[in-house]
Structure 1
Amino acid sequence: MYDFAVLMAWAEFAVRWLHVITAIAWIGSSFYFIALDLGLRRDKPLGTGADGEEWQVHGGGFYHIQKYMVAPDQMPDDLVWFKWESYATWLSGFALLVLVYYLGAELYLIDPNVLDISIWAGVLISLGSLIFGWIAYDLICKTRFGDDNTRLMILLYVILVAMAYFYTQVFSGRAALLHLGAFTATIMSANVFMIIIPNQKIVVADLRAGRTPDAKYGKIAKQRSTHNNYLTLPVLFLMLSNHYPLAFASEYNWIIASLVFLMGVTIRHYFNSVHARTGNPTWTWGVTVILFLIIAWLSTAPMFQREQDLTLRGQALQFAQADGFEDVHDIILGRCSMCHAQEPAWDNILWPPKGIMLETEAQIAQNARAIYLQAGLSHAMPPANLSYMELEERAKIVEWYRAAQ
């Protein structure tokens, strides 16, 4: 029978896979319709009364697509609504946040060197920040200030920079960048759930009833859709950042995150311009490269070396006191710490993989679950077994972990 750690690992895998699938579906449909809308040809009147049209070829077939600003003469009953991709992406992402960062808060969410708070305090701050983000953004959009979209986007960027700094002062570096992504993704998904889809339903209901829809509903939905378009790529970076310590474990991680949002703007501006046939602004790629080089420089200038809290507490103390810990400590020092060290001794490894260091008793105890899954139950670590970990040593890791349960 599987133990709890194994069940949790497979649960994380399943939810992460679901999150990836739904995110691909949402981003794919979003990017497609943005490109389609911008690329519609409006250079000749259409007998059908459509606002624009485009011919496309894909998969051996030809597609004739027309867009109606109001409605065709006969409103179809079988409208396809693109909404569940967004909802499922957010729900699966939140479930993953709970599984990894809430249930694993001691390891992934809370860093006593950043802010020594309780797990419950960290979880409440996390939830509160996501709720605050949507409420603040939505209220600003609905004020007169939000009538100017350029001005609104600038203010939104300032808010995101402020949140980037806030998160890095509360959570671990890994959790900080992930939460900034969740903060942004919550705004995006709420835009779909709270604004875009309800407004479209109002327009459809008016058309079917023979009423002329108020143009404001389309204008508002268009504004929120544009925001989502420019925020998508930075969210992807932030969601993947936990795999790259150079991004989240840098002293300037909040500045790195802030520059990533600018990269998202430059990249999307290029594609939006090309799709709209308004030009070929290749200069945006030069700006993107410069921003990326600045990010790469910030990640190591200077290399972030915060003194770690070596105090054993909570579950880590439980593992440090379990039978077999001394043997496991020696095994990890001999097989793993040459890479997972402040200054790795293995050639071509310049920093500890995923920011995990295994040089002290406290560090080993704090990473007990990962050691158990990666080097005990499976042979994922050491990679290709380059340090020749014996089967007997893996068995001792398993015995030690289970003894602490």
Structure 2
Amino acid sequence: MYEYAIAWEWLAFAARWFHVITAIAWIGSSFYFIALDLGLVNRPHLPPGAYGEEWQVHGGGFYHIQKYLVAPAQMPEHLTWFKYESYFTWISGFLMLCIVYYGGADLFLIDRHVLGISPTVAILISLGSLALGWLVYDLLCKSPLGRNTWGLMAVLYVVLVFMAWGYTQLFTGRAAFLHLGAFTATIMSANVFMIIIPNQKIVVADLIAGRVPDPKYGQVAKQRSLHNNYLTLPVIFFMLSNHYPLSFGTQFNWVIAALVFLMGVTIRHWFNTTHARKGRPTWTWIVTVILFILIMWLSTVPKLLTGETDAAAVAPAFQQFAGDPHFPAVKQLVSTRCSMCHAAEPVYEGIVRPPNGVMLENDAEIAAHAREIYIQAGRSHAMPPGNITDITPDERKLLVAWFESAVEGKKQ
């Protein structure tokens, strides 16, 4: 059993590493070509059919790049296809979903205080949502609404916000954000696999056969590529969010997700406008900062919204925590709700070492990790994962009261 758990842990690490590598390759090439496309200049000397060109310098050499809006008059001798980065990013991400969230559904996917379902049902809902997301998105793009790029994106935003809310009603907060990223990434990768590459192959086949390619295939592919461009940054946020419980483990997590999508738009708009040489809209960064501050505010669930008090998450000295009147009750709470995993020798099935090396077996260890306990189990519901130990709302309030009381005591 021990060897199996270790092997499974390394498999998860390998899948994550593979996912990061392929994602870097996909995102890098995607951002490069968007920037290149926006920076092209139409000059008189261009060959027939060429849309624009750009000179670039990198690595000690000069590059002269030309783009044909539809296709050149003849098929080139060699074509470099950019597709496998997308495919392997999705495959590796799905592998991680299977290893971490499907393999550990009771711990990471299901929160029975949110919805009491079996692992099998939860996994089927997960798979179905990813497939349904692509079908709905593709139908919207192919509908009359698809002719209006910005109107379509507004409707898609509503769909994404609905999915953000929906996932938080089904899974743990961590799994909800991860699934929202997977939902969006599935649309992006399917765009490449189902639309962009097939359309390019049709154009290539027409060139080989001596036919003039229909420009509609390039126009449709460009629209899907634009969607991918604006969805990339939110996907990265959601994939990183599982390390930051204040983003997913709070009451307003789905609102936070909605704001994250807007930040993705504002940031990409600045880069896209700049690359197109249409100015530098600094207002986008102001809006982004405001949105991020709003997210920070929502994550702490301030008194205005819940009736609770807000406190700075600082870490006073050990004496402050161990000497606080709440500490005996907190110690008992941590011993019953946390120490089965956060111990030198965890007793929870499948856990062979304390997560992140955090042990909570004595006064010093509990006090040393007071801030983490406050954030992950008090202010948010990130811990225990899926509330597997049934920590109650009153117990979470106790953790909050303990930490904030110690903080206030130090100030005085």
TM-score by length of 1: 0.79
Cα distance between partner residues in 1 of 2:388 and 2:229: 47
Cα distance between partner residues in 2 of 1:192 and 1:361: 39
Cα distance between partner residues in 1 of 2:384 and 2:294: 27
Cα distance between partner residues in 1 of 2:152 and 2:214: 23
Q: 1:3 to 1:320 in 2, by over 3 A?
A: closer
Deviation at 1:60, TM superposition (A): 0.7
Cα distance between partner residues in 1 of 2:348 and 2:183: 36
Aligned-partner residue type, residue 163 of structure 1: M
Q: Deviations over 1:109-168 (max 9, x none)?
A: 001111111111110100000000000000111111111111100000000000000000
Q: What residue number does 2:41 align with?
A: 41
Q: Does the 8 Å CA contact 2:252/2:299 hold for their aligned counterparts?
A: yes
Q: Does the 8 Å CA contact 2:39/2:275 hold for their aligned counterparts?
A: yes
% same residue? 63
With 30-39 and 205-214 compared, the bigger mean Cα shift is at 205-214
Q: Does the 8 Å CA contact 1:178/1:238 hold for their aligned counterparts?
A: yes
Structure 1, gaps ≥5 residues long: 323-330, 365-405
Aligned-partner residue type, residue 63 of structure 1: Y
Q: Does the 8 Å CA contact 2:71/2:203 hold for their aligned counterparts?
A: no
Q: What residue number does 1:75 align with?
A: 75
Q: Does 1:61 find its partner at 2:65?
A: no
Deviation at 1:332, TM superposition (A): 3.7
Q: Deviations over 1:306-352 (max 9, x none)?
A: xx9x999xx99x95799xxxxxxxx7431644466xxx2x6x97523
| Aligned counterparts, 1:150-169, within 5 A | 150-169=150-169
* Deviating 4+ runs (over 4 angstroms): 318-322
TM-score by length of 2: 0.77
Q: 1:21 to 1:58 in 2, by over 3 A?
A: same
| Aligned counterparts, 1:65-144, within 5 A | 65-144=65-144
Q: 1:140 to 1:105 in 2, by over 3 A?
A: same
| Aligned counterparts, 1:150-229, within 5 A | 150-229=150-229
Q: What residue number does 2:235 align with?
A: 235
Cα distance between partner residues in 2 of 1:196 and 1:156: 19
Where 1:184 maps in the other structure, the secondary structure is helix
Cα distance between partner residues in 2 of 1:221 and 1:155: 19
Aligned-partner residue type, residue 293 of structure 2: L
Q: What residue number does 2:19 align with?
A: 19
Structure 2, gaps ≥5 residues long: 309-332, 351-358, 392-412
Cα distance between partner residues in 2 of 1:141 and 1:363: 44
Cα distance between partner residues in 2 of 1:200 and 1:221: 8
With 45-54 and 19-28 compared, the bigger mean Cα shift is at 45-54
Q: What residue number does 2:376 align with?
A: 352
Deviation at 1:2, TM superposition (A): 6.2
Where 1:163 maps in the other structure, the secondary structure is helix
Q: Does the 8 Å CA contact 2:71/2:213 hold for their aligned counterparts?
A: no
Aligned-partner residue type, residue 351 of structure 1: I
Aligned-partner residue type, residue 271 of structure 1: F
Deviation at 1:73, TM superposition (A): 4.1
Aligned-partner residue type, residue 247 of structure 2: A
Q: What residue number does 1:252 align with?
A: 252
Where 2:235 maps in the other structure, the secondary structure is helix
Q: Indicate the structure whose relative CO is greater, using CA pairs within 8 Å and at least 6 residues apart.
A: 2
Q: 1:361 to 1:43 in 2, by over 3 A?
A: closer
Aligned-partner residue type, residue 239 of structure 1: M
Q: What residue number does 1:333 align with?
A: 361
Where 1:51 maps in the other structure, the secondary structure is strand
Report the aligned-residue RMSD: 3.0
Q: 1:205 to 1:311 in 2, by over 3 A?
A: farther
Cα distance between partner residues in 1 of 2:170 and 2:367: 30
Cα distance between partner residues in 1 of 2:349 and 2:197: 55
Q: What residue number does 2:317 align with?
A: none
Deviation at 1:363, TM superposition (A): 7.3
Cα distance between partner residues in 2 of 1:15 and 1:130: 20
Q: Does the 8 Å CA contact 2:86/2:192 hold for their aligned counterparts?
A: yes
Cα distance between partner residues in 2 of 1:71 and 1:352: 54
| Aligned counterparts, 1:265-280, within 5 A | 265-280=265-280
Aligned-partner residue type, residue 261 of structure 1: F
| Aligned counterparts, 1:370-385, within 5 A | none
